[in-house]
Amino acid sequence: MKTYVAVYFGAALIAMILTPILSRIAKARGIVDAPGVRKVHDRPIPRIGGLAILVATLSLVLGVLWLHNTVGAAFRQIRTHVLALLGAAVIMGLMGLVDDVRGLPARVKLAVQVLAAVAVCAFGIRIDEIGNGGIVSIKFGWLSWPVTVIWIVGITNAVNFIDGLDGLASGIAAMACGAIALFSLWSGQVVMAVLALALLGSLTGFLFFNFNPAKVFLGDGGTYFVGFTIAAASVLCAQKTAALVGLTLPVLALGVPIMDMLFSILRRVLERRSIMSADRQHIHHRLLRMGLRQRHVVLLIYLVTLLTAGIGTCMLIAGKAAPVLALLGLGILLIVFRLVGAVRLRESIRIMYRNLVNAREARQDRQRFENAQLMMREAPSFDARWKAVCTMAEDMGFEQVRLTSPSGRAAALNLLWRRASQDEPHARLVSVTIPLTLPNRSESARLAVTFKPNGSLEAAGTRVALFGRLIDENFPKAEVAEDGGDEVNSLPLFPHLPTATSSGTA
């Protein structure tokens, strides 16, 4: 017990000493988080405080390896796993530190996260099966690799995503470490208990400077190190006992950031944006818009985290009722996110339906474009190419297409195609003009497309873009009458359309 107490308070002390030192260094070097549209703070804040957590955690955990007691002996028995876990976590922290100082592309950060998770898997830290004390057991086999990578990368980014208010990410992570420490002590996992207590102590010392009003931020270096360590440690814990409890406990303890990340990804997918793009729709942003102060928002999320983490801890003694408690914790989280407006089932279904309709229409429009393109390539004359244009206009649902060019060295050109039947003669129409150059003409010609802006404007714009591409790639190849000619050789395009001429409209 003395070792556990020494680890916790030792890590807290080191973090309290290092954090203000790093804060002053960051200010002197300009490594600060400046205010902006995505930020809630109004002054530059140092953003490399996570380095204090990294150093404090490593100092205490590595120091335990040299102890000549049962704890040190337990560490030395699995030192390969411990060193692999800490090594990968340090890589994550340093990658985040580089991002804080210089900035890194999202794809580079994701690639490093995946590689670090794969490295941990290579040392045997994997989710091989999920079971509940022998009652239910699911073995993953080779799928344990991708499952573990997804778990570690997901938890890491969940902690990073929630880092939007003073003390929010560090406080939630501290509670998760406390829950993992209790689980480790209960299940007799000495190594994981020391690791969780070292991280908990570091976060506790850091919170003295990070709670509102914050004097220093975790930064990506801190969130990536903390998130990765918790994720990998939970996997190692799950290997030593019932995996269902070992994995569900950190899920409930980190339920708010995990749910927030999942709904953020879903929101971006529905809006067809990059999942790494920024927004102000996270749960803490929504609570701020409801009128709560920053400190109150953090305390409220702390309360929810304590509640779900407490339910997860009760799973340790619940036996067969553990799955019921897990569902209860998840239900509470869903209710909280529903109350703040993050869960909108009807709106999500409506957007999904709209996206599916747009995707289907886009495929159909693409097929129509390819058919018209084939007609263009096989067309032997200007009239045949114009017919391909009118065929595509008919298929795309356009109301009118007009090709004109002023009189110059060549004869004036004025060709018109109009839909035969108009169901709504007084409907509002939109016209888009596409400039193009025809052979043997010094002036630029114009192609005007008229359509009804019904339904999705995006779909209409896509149709016009494909239509413009058809003209741009193929129509200039048409042979137009030389100067002095009176007519463009024209053919009837559809039974209901008159012949088009160079001096009049069809």
Domains and CATH numbers, the chain: 2-241 (no CATH), 352-477 (3.30.450.40)
pLDDT in tens, 54-76: 999 999 999 998 888 898 898 88
Q: For residue 490, what pLDDT is reported?
A: 35
Strand partners, 415: 403
Strand partners, 451: 430
pLDDT band at 469 (very low <50, low <70, confident <90, very high): confident
pLDDT in tens, 2-54: 899 999 999 999 999 999 999 999 999 989 988 876 677 778 899 999 999 99
Q: What are the tokens at 123?
A: 């040392």
DSSP 8-state symbol, 36: -
Whose structure tokens read 């009722």? 321
Mean pLDDT of the chain: 84
pLDDT in tens, 161-177: 999 899 999 999 999 99
Q: For residue 412, what pLDDT is reported?
A: 67
Q: Are the C-beta atoms of 409 and 442 separated by less than 8 Å?
A: yes
DSSP 8-state symbol, 393: H
Q: What are the tokens at 111?
A: 């690639």
Q: Comparing 84-98, 198-212, 267-281, 468-482, which segment has the lowest mean pLDDT?
A: 468-482
Average pLDDT over residues 431-458: 72
Q: For residue 505, what pLDDT is reported?
A: 35
Backbone angles phi, psi at 241, to 5 degrees: -150, -165
Q: Are the C-beta atoms of 276 and 104 separated by less than 8 Å?
A: no
pTM for the complete prediction?
0.82
Burial class from Cβ neighbours inside 10 Å (0-12, 13-18, 19+) for residue 29 reads: exposed
**335: Cα separation from own chain's centroid:** 23
Q: Name the residue with higher pLDDT: 442 or 276.
A: 276
pLDDT band at 466 (very low <50, low <70, confident <90, very high): confident
Whose structure tokens read 């070792």? 3
pLDDT band at 135 (very low <50, low <70, confident <90, very high): low
| Residue 274 one-letter amino acid | S
With 90 as the cut, is the pLDDT of residue 242 above it? no
Q: For residue 136, what pLDDT is reported?
A: 63
Average pLDDT over residues 327-347: 91
Q: Comparing 140-149, 208-217, 318-327, which segment has the lowest mean pLDDT?
A: 318-327
User: What percent of the chain clears pLDDT 90, i.e. is strictly above it?
Assistant: 45
Q: Name the residue with higher pLDDT: 94 or 444.
A: 94
Nearest partner of 192 among 56, 4, 450, judged by Cα: 4
Distance CA 267, CA 257 (A): 15
Q: Are the C-beta atoms of 470 and 369 separated by less than 8 Å?
A: yes
Nearest partner of 156 among 54, 249, 51, 228, judged by Cα: 228
Cis peptide bond upstream of 213, omega within 30: yes
pLDDT in tens, 181-195: 998 998 888 999 999
Q: Are the C-beta atoms of 462 and 367 separated by less than 8 Å?
A: no
pLDDT band at 506 (very low <50, low <70, confident <90, very high): very low
Q: For residue 168, what pLDDT is reported?
A: 96
pLDDT in tens, 409-428: 445 678 888 887 665 655 67
Average pLDDT over residues 483-489: 36
User: What percent of the chain clears pLDDT 70, i.e. is strictly above it?
Assistant: 86
Residue-wise DSSP of 71-112? HHHHHHHTHHHHHHHHHHHHHHHHHHHHHHHT---HHHHHHH
Q: Are the C-beta atoms of 40 and 288 separated by less than 8 Å?
A: yes
With 50 as the cut, is the pLDDT of residue 492 above it? no
Q: For residue 502, what pLDDT is reported?
A: 32
Distance CA 31, CA 37 (A): 19
* CB count in 10 Å sphere of residue 142: 7
- Residue 486 makes CB contacts below 8 A (sequence gap 6+) with 411, 502, 503
Distance CA 467, CA 471 (A): 6
User: Angle at the Cα of 167 (from 162 to 172), degrees rounded to 5?
Assistant: 60
Average pLDDT over residues 132-136: 59
